[in-house]
């Protein structure tokens, strides 16, 4: 089993993204660029600065309605997502709600040759296994690459999310947020996740480990 990491980068200027990305890719297999932390007009410059590294990047433009920072119109967000897709990153994170409602966006991204990571989050709770499994089946219609993340309010919640790996062969990134979900960020890799999300230091999401912490844990398991 390959234990791989993806450093989440949430910077507010193109230069800071470029600098953080260089550091991230020295330590990590992949990096996630959170473009929603940028002002929209800065995105083209950021893409230009990091274009040579995008084949190792997951690109995300998360709206406020989905727990992100982007607060512009959905029409503007879709235009930016299309631009990012043209740079052909490793994966383009598209929310399940977005791909479900916007077939033209899905078709456009596919025509660029960019692979899609369909994501779904619950920032308050963890639904039942049957609910999560049903959601996963619907997400698989759009891509084999799926991300399901919930808030764990107990160890049982984390176990529920990890149980999804029994029903998915590859391409599933599933874990829980929060203190109760921390262990799932490690265990997901041994269950088949292509990578786990980490930070360079300060967590970008609740319960997130740093890349150094996860690398230390991986070394202990070898």
Choice among 101, 140, 147, 202 that is catalytic? 147
Q: Which of 204, 190, 201, 207 is nearest to 155 (CA)?
A: 207
User: Is 103 considered catalytic here?
Assistant: no
Backbone angles phi, psi at 144, to 5 degrees: -80, -15
Given a contact cutoff of 8 angstroms between Cβ atoms, the answer to whether 118 and 147 are in contact is yes
Given a contact cutoff of 8 angstroms between Cβ atoms, the answer to whether 152 and 176 are in contact is yes
Choice among 53, 101, 103, 121 that is catalytic? 121
User: Is 147 considered catalytic here?
Assistant: yes
Q: In what order do the strands lie in the sheet with 172-177?
A: 172-177, 145-151, 116-122, 91-95, 57-60, 30-34, 5-9, 196-198
Backbone angles phi, psi at 188, to 5 degrees: -60, -30
C-alpha span between 18 and 46 (Å, rounded): 7
User: What count of Cα atoms within 13 Å lies in the side-chain half-sphere of residue 145?
Assistant: 14
Catalytic annotation, residues: 121, 147
């Amino acid at each position: 089993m390959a234990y791989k990491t993806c450093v989440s980068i949430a910077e507010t200027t193109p230069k800071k993204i470029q600098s953080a990305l260089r550091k991230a890719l020295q330590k990590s297999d992949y990096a996630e660029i959170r473009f929603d932390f940028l002002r929209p007009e800065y995105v083209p410059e950021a893409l230009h600065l990091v274009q040579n590294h995008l084949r190792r990047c997951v690109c995300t433009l998360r709206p406020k309605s989905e727990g992100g920072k982007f607060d512009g119109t959905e029409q503007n967000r879709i235009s930016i997502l299309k631009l990012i897709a043209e740079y052909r990153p490793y994966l383009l994170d598209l929310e399940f709600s977005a791909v479900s409602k916007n077939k033209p966006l899905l078709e456009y991204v596919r025509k660029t040759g960019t692979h899609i990571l369909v994501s779904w989050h619950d920032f308050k709770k963890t639904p039942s296994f049957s609910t999560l499994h049903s959601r996963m089946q619907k997400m698989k219609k759009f891509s084999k690459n799926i991300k399901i993340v919930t808030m764990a309010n107990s160890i049982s919640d984390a176990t529920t999310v990890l149980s999804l790996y029994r029903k998915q062969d590859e391409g599933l990134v599933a874990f829980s947020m929060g203190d109760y979900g921390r262990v799932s960020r490690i265990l997901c890799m041994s269950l088949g996740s292509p990578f786990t999300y980490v930070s360079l230091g300060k967590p970008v999401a609740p319960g997130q480990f740093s890349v150094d912490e996860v690398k230390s844990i991986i070394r202990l398991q070898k």
